[in-house]
Structure 1
Amino acid sequence: MLAVLGIAEAFTINGARLLLGVTTTIFLLAYGAGLVLVARGLSRASTWSRGPAVFTQLIQLLLAYSFWGGSTSAVSVVLAVTAAAVLIAIFQKASMDALKDDPGNDHPVL
């Protein structure tokens, strides 16, 4: 979705806001590509992917808060519910077991 927003931003760039448009496009495309890598890591149960996934959902919760009020309240609710569902899924015991650093060692080393 962010890559789509990045492409849409690229088509709205004009001379008055050239630098802002270009940097926003690059940011959205890079962020979208990063999320694809995180999703791939989660699907392969890579331990590194848990942190970025949680961080992204916390950003989405803040974004949902910023949309609250007026005609964008529905967007806010969708963003918040989606982020909460993903966070709940990531912190489920099965997910935590699959994404822990050493799947073969159930006891912490002291």
Structure 2
Amino acid sequence: MIKIFASVMALLNVAEGFATNDEGNVTLTQEQMKLIDDELHSLKKQVEDNSKAVNEAGTALKRVKDQLTQAQNDVKQRDEQIAALKGSAGDSTDDKPDSAEQSFTAQDVFNLVKNV
């Protein structure tokens, strides 16, 4: 009995090894060959499916990277717009007049013109 083909033995559920003929060759039954052939077809299909999944994942990754680049560009443009708006006139409305200037409220103006 030959026990060096561990993977084939496991596939065919052979625990004691393979018998050899007079020339030292291992012989397999048609059922055993069918099991090996079915397993090879199954593995080939898995490889094809995995290859397709890898290609789809690569495409999705590229699309996400493109979206990230676009979003980064949009953020950069908006930051530039914000910086330009901050530097322009009228950027704040809470400026208080200097203490040397006299400020008037609406009530002060009304009091000045009510007697006219």
Same fold per superposition (TM over 0.5): no
Q: Which has the higher contact order (CA 8 A, sep 6+)?
A: 1
Higher Cα Rg: structure 1 or 2?
2
More helix per residue: 1
- What's the TM-score once normalised by structure 2's chain length? 0.29
